[in-house]
Chains A and B, each alone.
Chain A
Amino acid sequence: MSSAPVYNFAYLDEQTKRMIRRAILKAIAVPGYQVPFASREMPMPYGWGTGGVQLTASILGAGDVLKVIDQGADDTTNAVSIRKFFEKTAGVETTSLTGDATIIQTRHRIPEEPLTADQILVYQVPIPEPLRFLEPRETETRQMHALQDYGLMHVKLYEDISRHGHIATTYAYPVKVEARYVMDPSPIPKFDNPKMDMCSALQLFGAGREQRIYALPPYTQVTSLDFEDHPFERTKFEKPCGLCGATGVYLDEIVTDDQGGRLFVCSDTDYCEGRRGHETDGGVL
């Protein structure tokens, strides 16, 4: 492998890391506010977690243990390739065990196992602006955040109720941070929203294409938007996980045959395997 290119530790050059690190500190100081940053071209396409990868690369140290999940799973293409990327460019130890990881990069889920104060959760974010689909102009949304003008978001949720009888948003469900900024929690299921509130771990959000970083320090108040007569409700599942029998966890539907057979199993593969005593190696089928 002597002909392989030699990268700086964790791929990014030091000036890029400094720029991202400065943005991270501002994001922590103003929880929920989206800090612009000069996102770099990464050796993977947009949509594959370039924002999350740049955050991880900027905070990662030689002693860290990295876990990467994609929709809760450690063994999907996106998770495997990002894990391999950091094994190669930073030489860090990687794991699939939530409890062993110091940094967890995630796409669209929060692990079922409660996080600790020693851990950092890095989210990959496609569209960081919660108001973007209501108001396409950045100049306007920026002013709306400055003035706390969030009426439009409540109108959107109200229209959900008038059309469907309940708030039909099930993922990327908007939250309010410390009674100030409305924030997009990234496309996690709304089932995971309550886990963000007063979480012990530092949570960092990175959107590469949209060039934004935002953050939730530990023990930060995160409230899902709702109405007094239509309070926020967490998704409930009628049956337990078909593999480990867990209840109160987020389940994925898996089609098992062409006869209409289906199975509901934990979306968090590490949690499910842990409950089954790690007797299986990876995949559920």
Chain B
Amino acid sequence: MKPPAISPAFHDVSRQSQAVFRAIMQAMAQPGRTGLLDTGFETPAPLAPGAAAILLTLADFETPLWLDATLSASPATTDYLRFHTGASLVSDPQSAAFALIADAERAPPLTAFSQGTPDYPDRSTTLVFQVGSLDGQDWRLAGPGIKGETVFGVSPLPAGFMQQLQENNACAPLGVDVLFASQTRIAAIPRSTRIMEAR
């Protein structure tokens, strides 16, 4: 039997991944601010194109990748990511450089992932959440990259996620950095961002 074909990704890797990277970099440098993620390709469900574009831009054979139960249960998704990134898929979240979460409501706690070490805080996991909306107004953010304060919110997310982000920030410079990708947009909350409930 002929194996199912793996759908294509970037048609011009150099230029397209550069554009996606600039969107990721701007999101990380300006926490809570959403940017456009122009992908232009389709991905096998439940993998969303926005989140896939982030991994295609950043992940390769040097970066172990952790997938949540929803994604790892889909052979089309694992084949797609293995083929296009070359990243090895790992089951231990502590050993992952990147983690991709499709079922955001049932995401494991942020502390399940690598937090880095005091000597090398960069050796931590970067989490990518596939989410529906980045237009919420539940949180106030402050810190590097933000002039004064900004209002931001994501859905869906697990209950108590704001407290998790607060604890993550309290441990900085240790901790994880979180990217949120909707179908066409991206935003980030790095460990340096302080989170408060919106007034």
Contact = CB atoms under 8 A, between A and B. Distances in A.
Nearest to B118: A146
B145 interface: yes
B173 A30 contact: yes
Interface residues of B, number: 39
B29 A202 contact: yes
B173 A59 contact: no
B18 A219 contact: no
Contacts of B18: 9, 17, 59-61
Interface in A26-52: 26-31, 33, 35-36
B119 A33 contact: no
A146 B58 contact: no
B172 interface: yes
A138 to B, nearest CB: 10
B21 A9 contact: no
A195 interface: no
Nearest to A25: B28
B13 to A, nearest CB: 6
Size class of the A contact interface (CB-based, 8 Å): 35 or more
Interface string B112-125: 00000011111010
Nearest to B143: A178
B14 A14 contact: yes
B101 to A, nearest CB: 18
B25 A178 contact: no
A9 B29 contact: no
25 contacts: A9-B18, A19-B62, A21-B25, A22-B58, A22-B97, A25-B25, A25-B126, A25-B177, A28-B25, A30-B122, A30-B172, A58-B21, A60-B18, A61-B15, A62-B15, A178-B192, A200-B147, A202-B25, A202-B29, A215-B29, A217-B28, A217-B30, A218-B29, A218-B30, A219-B147
Interface of B: 13-15, 17-19, 21-22, 24-26, 28-30, 57-60, 62-63, 97, 118-122, 124, 126, 143-147, 172-173, 177, 190-192
